[in-house]
Structure 1
């Protein structure tokens, strides 16, 4: 386990809209103490920004590969982010 802060941008593709993916993501991120946000894109994907302890970010990334029970994830693309981490509670946009 590590105390370093990691921030990533993630694009999740598959059947991830209309299945509660954003609400599920918010719950997972808040449970792990992460900040950031999640939102739908017009192309049917979901984008999330996670920031927090590196081990918690790794845990949520692994969870995103499954998502809620009604989701069918086909791809999780992760981009490391530099700069200031977002503050505040994880939000749905």
Structure 2
């Protein structure tokens, strides 16, 4: 049995206005993850995701590419305490 993990991904580059958040939601839902994706005032995107480590690894790998119109310059990842999210959504 694997315990859920919580990761915070901070994505920079051309990641706003290119459907990055919506594409992240789709990827995360396919992987069975919960959490959210949100735009930040500085033009970056923050993703908080919870679930099995293998699914989080897959989401992290996807975040380095993102949707076709995105240009990802950097993805930084930190861990945090599990929050108990029940779905994955866009946060505004």
TM range (shorter): over 0.9
* Runs of 5+ unmatched residues, structure 1: none
Aligned twin of 1:71? 70
Counterparts in 2 of 1:31-42, with a 5 A limit? 31-42=30-41
Aligned twin of 1:87? 85
Q: CA RMSD in A?
A: 1.1
Distance (Å, rounded) in 2 between the aligned partners of 1:3 and 1:46: 28
1:17-42 CA-to-partner distances (Å, cap 9, x unmatched) read 00000000000000000000000000
1:14-71 CA-to-partner distances (Å, cap 9, x unmatched) read 0000000000000000000000000000000000001001100000000000000000
* Runs of 5+ unmatched residues, structure 2: none
Structure 1 segments of 4 or more deviating over 2 A?
A: 84-87
